[in-house]
Every structure is written in structure tokens, then in C-alpha cells.
Amino acid sequence: MSLFTRSRQLPKTDKATTEAGPTPDGPPEPTPEGAMGHQEAAASGDPDQAVAGSGWRDKHPAAARTVARVSTALAVGLVLFALLLPNELTRITPSAFVRIPVEGISGAAVLLVLPPRARRVVAVLAGAGLGLLTILKLLDIGFYWSLDRPFDLVLDWILFDDAEAFLRDSVGQAGAIGAVIGIVVLVLALLVLMALAVVRLSRLMVRHSATATRTTLVLGTVWIACVALGVQIAGTPVASRSTATLVQDRAHQVRASLKDEREFAKLTAVDDFRDTPADQLLTGLRGKDVIFAFVESYGRSAVQDPQMASQVGAVLADGTSRLRAAGFSSRSGFLTSPTAGGGSWLAHSTLMSGLWINNQQRYTSVTSSDRLTLTGAFQRASAWRTVGIMPGVTRAWPEGQIYGFDEIYDSRQLGYNGPKFSWAPVPDQYSLSAFERLENSKPGREPLMSEIILVSSHNPWAPIPKMIGWDEVGDGSVYDAMSEEGKDPKEVWKDADQVRTEYRRSIEYSVNSLISWVEKYGDDNTVLVFLGDHQPAPIVTGDDAGRDVPIAIVAHDPAVMERISGWGWHEGLKPGPKAPVWRMDTFRDRFLTAYGPRPGPAPSPSAR
């Protein structure tokens, strides 16, 4: 019955009694019909009838109507928010919230035809489902913002532990605990409030079924017409089915993630270098000290984005000149990383294993296998001592066994007595100084193959250390004042331009640390391979920046560079826009082939 015509008549006896006033024994008992009407009105929140009960509704009927109407409006807004909220930050625009969601129309139609008990159950489940859907969309927003991809319902739960550790390192223990508590409260609130909202709306629709039915039919017709005509507002289709599409996509994602484990096991079993004899591995580098250095978040944007390219490019050009003056030559290109914004370990394992490690499931699989890694090939050749300098590792790291290191120095074993620089436990210059002290400067040592992870350019990029004299580094105490004088990350992250500026400065510091180390400590046998692990977060790069990272090889011996002359890489530390681009997982086999037993340059690989 229509909202505007429906009313309830009290029995004449009740009316007469009311007019005559209460009897000496007290007020009359309400009839069963009247009592039921009050209960239904109170339960439904109907603004026209919820004022006839006892308590504050009797005393403040106008306020009661206002509260009921506001509650209904909030319920409608909450449900529409859940259905229309995009799962990417860049798509959240006013036009996104003026669409007609087909899921809401379908849900209303179902609730109108269900019997009372089934309707209540479905309403609660639908509300909880909308709450979960909203949480998923918020997770997607966060993952797109930081990792340039949506949340994986199967594989990404383990990342919450890393996120909590990052918060703890960046804003302190109290801040991390507060953030976790806030997130838990938000999740519970969304689930409860969304369920209450759908229940409230379902009751109102049933009480005003005629109006609700007509409205549902009209909206359904409008939705179909908008689809047929392709009606849009500011480029956004008015007829929305984004929620249904999202659910469908996630169902496919779950199936694909479960299937991926079996397919990856087959890929892992194929290895062209598994049975290569030790005396045929890396023959072109015998007697050389080979360093693989990862520069955190060093992406293609750092060398090509107009806001950063001139400054970072100047550092690379100057570094090329300085190294050339010291007798070194260099070549550079690009690799496509399997990750962006974070997940450095996925990039590290991809480069070293020669497998595409783009999720945690693959990482767990490869690190528990006997795959021959690039570092492991140096160890098998028995011509190098293999060392890892891992300042970002702060606890036990059993996965590191696959890399074949004779010795791993993590943040607790580098002898650092200085402050943390936000997330970064150890400044890059100190890590390189510790490598020199612990391994490289030892008299009579055998050749070294070292992997060094430089972390000063890790998000949140504030505060940033400064280059100092190598003889001033000491035990790291010199960095105390530097950390205190640096910028507060909470202040930096209030402005996107500041974030980009500090990111650029951190890359300049990390690259300068490497160049300066080669200048001071490099010799005729030094071979340096340095690259980025992934692009920084989209707040720095913008959308659709890609996943390419620069890579460069530096060597003093011309014979080392001659081995890769067929790669087509550009001269110098900075690759040009047209430099070859390879997938990161192809590098292991290319490198082992180029420096294998066959003399001369390897055949020119095709660029992507």
C-alpha cells in the first residue's frame, strides 16, 4: 500500500474510551491489533507510525520522526556506497556515486517476494556480504595505491604481517597498535552497520510494498534503457554492474591462484643450467669480484619522469664520468619487474632464480626448492666466496638458504650502532662500508660474489642520510644527528610533491653511495651489477607507469664488457628511452650464457 495513503484506524471502543478519559482503574489496555501496530512501527522505523509507543517517542514525536528519517537516509547511503564505491582511488569521482546499481535493484526485488523469515535471514546475509565487499574494495584501493595491483584473496593475507612491521618501523609501536585497532574497529563496524542497514530497508520496503514495487520496476526499466543507449555522466556509465563484475573477477582470480601452484611446479622443474658442470659455470668471470646490488624502489620513473629525470640523470651522468676517469666502463638497459610499489623479495627471487615470482605462493615454492639460483651458480663453481649483505633482514630468514651464500650479514651482524632512518635499519653508505670492512678488505681472500641490498630509498623516503667521508662512517654513531635533523615522514606525506621530491633524493643518495664506493675501493677485478627491484608507489609514478627498472653493469676489465656487447645495452649508467627491455626472469639465463665457457659475445637477445 502507498506510503501516502496507508493509515490504521483504531476500534471505536478505544476511541470512545480515549475521549472519555481513563477509568478509575487506570488507562485502558490496548487491543492486540493496536499493540501489534506499535511493535511493527517501532521495528520498521516507519517515520509516520513510530511515534505511537511509549517513552521518548511519545514525548518527542518530531524528533522521533527526524531520527527515523535520518536513519533511513543513512541506510540508503551506506548501501549505495557499498555498491557504487570503485576499488581504485583514481576512479573515485562524484559521477561514480550517481549511477544506478543493478545489484541493488535485483536485491530489492528478491527481498520483496520472500516470506518474512527468509527475508530476515537474506537481509542479514546480504548486509554482511556488502560489508565484506566494501572491505575488499578498500583493500583493493590500498593495494593499487601501494603495489599497483588488486588484493589477492588467496595469496596476500601473509602481507599483513609485513604491513604491520612497516607501520611499526615507520611510526613506532604505539602508532602501529593504534592503526591495527582502528582497522579492526572499522571492519566490525562495516559488517554490523551494513547488516542493520539492509534489514531496515527490507522492512520499509515490505511495509510500503506497492511503492517499493513500482520504484523497483521503474529503476529496472531505466537501467535497461541506460544500458541500451550507453548513457554516461562524465565518462562513467549510469547503468552500473561493477559490483557483480568485481565478484565475478574475484571468483576467477581465486580459481587462477589455486591453479597457479600446479603450473608453477611444472615451470620450476625445467632448468637448462641444473646439470651444468661446475667447471663450465661463469668461466668468463673467474678471478673477478662480482657484486649484485639492488637499489630499493629504483624504477624507470626515476630516470624518465620529467619531475625527476633531470636531477637523477645528472647524478648518473656524473657517475659515468667519474667511473670512466677511474678506468671503469658501463652499460645499461631495463628489466621488467614482477612487482611494483613493494614486494622486493619477489624481484630478488625472480632475478636470481630465473622464474617469474609475482606472488607469495610462488616465492614460498621456489625458496623451498633446489632451484639453481644465480648466486648459487657462483657457489657451485667453487671459485668464489659468496656473501650477502642484507640490512633489511631483521629476523630469521630461512628462505635465504636457496641463494647459496657462504655468509649472510643481516642488520644485526653489520655492527651498526646508529639510528634507523624510518623503515631503513641501516644507511646505504654504512652497508657498503661494512662490506668493505667485513669481507672485501681482508688480505689474501678468495674472489667474492656478493649480493648487497641498499634500503635507504625504501618508502617512506624520510629522513634521508647524507654522504660523508668513508673514514667518518665508523660504527654508525655519526648518523644520530643526521637522523634527528632529517624530515619527518608524517609531514612529508601530507603533500604528494614532497613525497616525489624525497623519493628522488633517496635514489640520488643510494646511487651516489655505490658510485663512490667503486671509486674508492674498486680495482681491476671489480664487476658491479646494480639495478632497481621495482618501481615506487603510484603516488610517485602516477598511474600506468609500468614496471620497468634500470640495470647497469660496471667493470674495469674490457673483456667483461665485451661479453655483453651483443645485448644492445646503452653506454653509461643511464639507459635511454629506447634501451632494450627484458623480463627480469630472463636475466639469469642470459647472464650465465654470456659468461659461460663459449668465447666471445653471446648471441644478441631480442628485446621486448
pLDDT digits (tens, 9 = 90+) for 404-433: 999 999 999 999 999 999 889 999 999 999
DSSP annotation string for 30-45:
PPHHHHHHHHHHHHHT
| Range in 44-58, 62-76, 151-165, 434-448 the model is least confident about | 44-58
pLDDT bucket at 112, cuts 50 / 70 / 90:
very high
Residue partners of 105: CB distance under 8 A and separation at least 6? 216, 219, 220, 223
Question: For residue 9, what pLDDT is reported?
Answer: 42
Residue 41 in this model has a pLDDT that exceeds 90: no
Question: For residue 299, what pLDDT is reported?
Answer: 97
- Average pLDDT of span 205-229: 94
C-alpha cell at 220: 529496472
Q: How far apart are CA 288 and CA 563, in angstroms?
A: 14
Average pLDDT, the chain: 87
pLDDT bucket at 396, cuts 50 / 70 / 90:
confident
User: Which single residue is written with the C-alpha cell 608453477?
Assistant: 264
**pTM, 2 dp:** 0.79
Q: How far apart are CA 603 and CA 207, in angstroms?
A: 78
Question: For residue 179, what pLDDT is reported?
Answer: 84
Residue 10 in this model has a pLDDT that exceeds 70: no
Share of the chain above pLDDT 70, in %: 89
Q: Which amino acid is present at 327?
A: G
- Average pLDDT of span 130-159: 88
Integer angstrom CA distances of residue 113 from 118, 201, 529: 10, 14, 68
Residue 436 in this model has a pLDDT that exceeds 60: yes
Residues 594 and 281: beta-carbon distance below 8 Å: no
Rounded to whole angstroms, the maximal C-alpha distance in the chain is 117
Question: For residue 22, what pLDDT is reported?
Answer: 40
Sign of CA dihedral 152, 299, 483, 497: negative
- Half-sphere exposure (Cβ direction) of 38: Cα atoms closer than 13 Å: 13
Question: For residue 33, what pLDDT is reported?
Answer: 37
What is the separation of C-alpha 372 from the centre of its chain, rounded to a whole number of angstroms? 29
pLDDT digits (tens, 9 = 90+) for 511-555: 999 999 999 999 999 999 999 999 999 999 988 899 999 999 999
pLDDT digits (tens, 9 = 90+) for 233-285: 888 899 999 989 999 998 988 888 888 888 898 888 899 999 999 999 999 99
- Average pLDDT of span 78-86: 95
Spell out the CATH class of 292-473+503-550+558-595.
Answer: alpha beta
Residue 333 in this model has a pLDDT that exceeds 80: yes
Question: For residue 405, what pLDDT is reported?
Answer: 95
- Average pLDDT of span 567-574: 97
Sign of CA dihedral 275, 278, 280, 284: positive
pLDDT bucket at 46, cuts 50 / 70 / 90:
very low
Sign of CA dihedral 250, 167, 466, 347: negative
pLDDT digits (tens, 9 = 90+) for 593-603: 999 986 544 44
Structure letter (DSSP) for residue 14: H
- Average pLDDT of span 339-348: 94
Sign of CA dihedral 121, 122, 127, 131: positive
User: Which single residue is written with the C-alpha cell 653489520?
Assistant: 414
Element (H, E) at 331: strand 329-336
More confident residue, 12 or 153: 153
- Would you list the domain boundaries of the chain? 62-256, 292-473+503-550+558-595
